Amino acid sequence: MLRWRWTPWTALALAAAFPFLAATLDAQYLVRVGGVIGLFMILGLGLNFTLGYVGLFDLGFIAFYAIGAYTTAIAMRAGVPALLALGLAMVVTLAVRALLGLTILRLRGDYLAVVTMGFGEIARLTINNLDAFTNGPKGLQLAPWRPLNFLSDDPNIQYYLLILLAVAAGVVAAKRLENSRVGRAWVAIREDEIAARLSGIPVRHYKLLAFTISAAYAGLAGGLFAQWEQFVTPESFVFWESILVVSIVVLGGMGSIAGVLLGALVLVGFPPLMQWKLSADWINYRYLFFGLILVLVTLFRPQGILPSSRREAELTS
């Protein structure tokens, strides 16, 4: 079924129709959940470049979501038009990420993981403490931006569709990169760095490229998040969120776009879905079940729910 060529279009059409269906079913709550799932799909697609394609372990990815959100918020408060603010968020996250990559990418494996974790905490605490720019823990408020008023009055539906559009664009961009010369170089680096270097691939450049491109996704997701919520606080960008994005990529299937999308759907969608469906007695159990899902899925499908077909082909042939 997944190999069927219309699968992506069917999924997109269903996803686009979903908020209107939910409105008739009186389940507007699920539209909000869908929007959040979409934001994490974008984050997952972004981290997939770093973690899935080149295998660099990043535990502070949410910092770039935060930088994107705060750049958008500060720019819009200064009177920058919303779309331009989104673009600005992507540019700023790209620049910060490139600078970070230039300094830390020579670290290996888990050392890189710890340094990115440290950067994530530094970013969050700096946002929290720099009251002059970010208003500290009290957060920043934004004026509303409603570009899709002609489709629906409900801002949640508008942003759901906007995020869906961004997910689709992100998937197309990731797919094209994956099947390009650059994508093949990334896979070569992940599988065997030394062989890749000997084959004439400038390893450092390609690693930096993957690491940097990730940030554009996080910046976009952060910007959309800020515009949707019209409010940003440092609390939204804790370490746990970075872990969640890593789990989405690994559980979905590293290097697999469909896997990442499915990972976000399962991991982000599950707790609120339980909250929606279960009685009050059971609501508190949702994170326990979430943990169980992580363990059980990993034990039974350690390569991810939908591992990348290229990887699978490499392993079986």
Q: Which of 250, 260, 265, 305 binds another protein (CB under 8 A)?
A: 250
CB 269, min distance to another protein, A: 16
CB 276, min distance to another protein, A: 19
Residue 195, helix vs strand vs coil: helix
- Does the protein bind another protein through residue 292 (CB under 8 A)? yes
- Does the protein bind another protein through residue 293 (CB under 8 A)? yes
In contact, 28 and 22? CB cutoff 8 Å: yes
Footprint of another protein on residues 48-107 (CB under 8 A)? Answer: 57, 103-104, 106-107
Q: Which of 148, 290, 309, 310 binds another protein (CB under 8 A)?
A: 290
Q: What are the backbone angles phi and psi of residue 218, rounded to the nearest 5°?
A: -65, -40
- Does the protein bind another protein through residue 283 (CB under 8 A)? no
CB 312, min distance to another protein, A: 13
Q: Which of 295, 313, 316, 317 binds another protein (CB under 8 A)?
A: 295
Q: Which of 20, 29, 231, 239 binds another protein (CB under 8 A)?
A: 239
CB 84, min distance to another protein, A: 31
Cβ nearer to another protein, comparing 72 with 135:
135
DSSP H helices in the chain = 7-24, 28-47, 62-77, 82-104, 109-129, 131-134, 155-178, 181-191, 193-198, 203-229, 239-252, 257-277, 280-283, 286-300, 309-316
| Cβ neighbours for 262, distance < 8 A, ≥ 6 positions apart | 252, 253, 305, 306
User: Which amino acid, 274?
Assistant: M
- Does the protein bind another protein through residue 126 (CB under 8 A)? yes
Beta-bridge partner residues of 292: none
Q: What is the 3-state secondary structure (H, E, C) of 23-92?
A: HHCCCHHHHHHHHHHHHHHHHHHHHHHHHHHCCCCCCCCHHHHHHHHHHHHHHHHCCCCHHHHHHHHHHH
Binding residues vs another protein (CB under 8 A): 57, 103-104, 106-108, 110-111, 113-115, 117-119, 121-122, 125-126, 128-129, 193-194, 239, 243, 246-247, 250-251, 254, 284-285, 287-288, 290-295, 298-299, 302-303
